[in-house]
């Protein structure tokens, strides 16, 4: 679905006379392969290059060196631009910056309308998408009246209506309260499991990562860890060195194990730890 090969992205700063003052490598030789239908999580501290990398996947940025293919299309080729943006939709952090319609259903219809889809099909897609994220009963509402989690789900529906093969969530849960985060995660997982949409989820909430098929951890523009959540979260100290952490139960299980309790490593959920502790009794 997505193939990234030897990707380098440099931000170049110039002074008033266009002389190069500073070159910063935000993405440094990244190789990633995401298969269709995978749920991938991307972790990394602020400034580690996650968002820059994500922006390459729907051709908001172009490689300085290396190549990015989305659904077989090279993002550097200008003629692919619209197709790529259609295949890979992006949802950003702030729900208030990405809703444009004054009524929920119009907002969701904007994308397909812009693509030149016939009116009848637009309405069909709006219905499907709003149902997929559980927002159908709010279709006639003004987005202003919705909660943060609801707004983000409308934003996701707007992307879904364009029938993308892949959705990239760039810290889309950062501003939400606990129930808003759950709502968004539930909607995204449903799209992944039922519609087989490929998901790339960028987040600082470690609890949200446990559902992923694969986790990539970035530092200084490079991928420094890669694996299933259980493998990644059993490397507690390494993650902490990278300014990250692990879910509370993972941390607790890790410390109990260090103190001598026979608990397996890489505990991800409350249920798992309860089960392990019952065995210790």
Partner 1 sequence: MSIIVDKLNYVYGDEAHQVQALQDISITIPDGQFLGIIGHTGSGKSTFIQHLNGLIKASSGSIFYNGQDIYDKDYDIRQLRSKVGLVFQYPEHQLFEAEVFQDVCFGPKNLGLDRKQAELKAFTALRQTGVPEDLFYVSPFELSGGQKRRVAIAGVLAMEPEVLILDEPTAGLDPKGRDELLNQLEKLHKERNMTIILVSHSMEDVANYADRILVMDKGRILLDQTPKEVFSHRKELEEMGLGVPQVTCLMQELKSKGFPVAADVTTVQEAKTELLKYFQVKGR
Residues that bind partner 1 (CB under 8 A): 44-47, 93, 147-149, 171, 174-180, 204, 206-207, 240, 243-245, 247-249, 251-252, 255-256, 259, 261, 270-271, 273-274, 277-278, 280-281
Please state, in angstroms and rounded to a whole number, the distance separating the CA atoms of residues 197 and 161: 12
Q: Which is nearer to partner 1, 212 or 263 (CB)?
A: 263
Angstrom CA distances, 154 to 20, 24, 98, stand at 42, 36, 10
Q: Which is nearer to partner 1, 10 or 127 (CB)?
A: 10
The angle formed by the CA atoms of residues 203, 162 and 55, to the nearest 5 degrees, is 40
Please state, in angstroms and rounded to a whole number, the distance separating the CA atoms of residues 76 and 216: 24
Quickly list DSSP for 214-245.
Answer: EEEEEETTEEEEEE-HHHHHT-HHHHHHTT--
- For the bound state, the minimum distance from the C-beta of residue 116 to partner 1, rounded and expressed in Å, comes to 36
Please state, in angstroms and rounded to a whole number, the distance separating the CA atoms of residues 134 and 153: 8
Q: Which is nearer to partner 1, 33 or 177 (CB)?
A: 177
- For the bound state, the minimum distance from the C-beta of residue 118 to partner 1, rounded and expressed in Å, comes to 37
- For the bound state, the minimum distance from the C-beta of residue 131 to partner 1, rounded and expressed in Å, comes to 22
Q: Which is nearer to partner 1, 21 or 194 (CB)?
A: 21
- For the bound state, the minimum distance from the C-beta of residue 10 to partner 1, rounded and expressed in Å, comes to 16
């Amino acid at each position: 679905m997505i193939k990234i090969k030897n990707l380098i992205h440099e931000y170049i700063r110039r002074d008033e006379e266009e002389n190069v003052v500073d070159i910063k490598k935000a993405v440094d030789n990244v190789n990633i392969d995401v298969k269709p239908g995978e749920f991938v999580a991307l972790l990394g501290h602020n400034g580690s290059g996650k968002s820059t990398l994500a922006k390459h996947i729907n051709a908001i940025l172009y490689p300085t060196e290396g190549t990015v293919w989305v659904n077989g299309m090279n993002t550097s080729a200008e003629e692919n631009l619209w197709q790529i943006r259609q295949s890979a939709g992006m949802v950003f952090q702030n729900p208030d910056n990405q809703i444009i319609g004054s009524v929920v259903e119009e907002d969701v219809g904007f994308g397909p309308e812009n693509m030149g889809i016939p009116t009848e099909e637009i309405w069909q897609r709006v219905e499907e998408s709003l149902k997929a994220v559980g927002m159908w009963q709010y279709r006639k509402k003004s987005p202003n009246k919705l909660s943060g989690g609801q707004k983000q789900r409308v934003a996701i529906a707007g992307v879904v209506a364009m029938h993308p093969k892949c959705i990239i969530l760039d810290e889309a849960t950062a501003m939400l309260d606990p129930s808003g985060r759950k709502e968004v995660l539930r909607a995204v997982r449903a799209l992944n499991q039922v519609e087989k949409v490929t998901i790339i989820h960028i987040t600082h909430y470690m609890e949200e990562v446990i559902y992923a098929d694969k986790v990539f951890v970035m530092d200084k523009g490079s991928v420094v860890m890669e694996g299933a959540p259980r493998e990644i979260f059993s490397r507690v100290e390494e993650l902490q060195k990278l300014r990250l952490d692990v879910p509370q139960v993972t941390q607790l299980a890790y410390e109990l194990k260090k103190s001598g309790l026979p608990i397996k490593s890489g505990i991800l959920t409350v249920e798992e730890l309860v089960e392990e502790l019952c065995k210790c009794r």
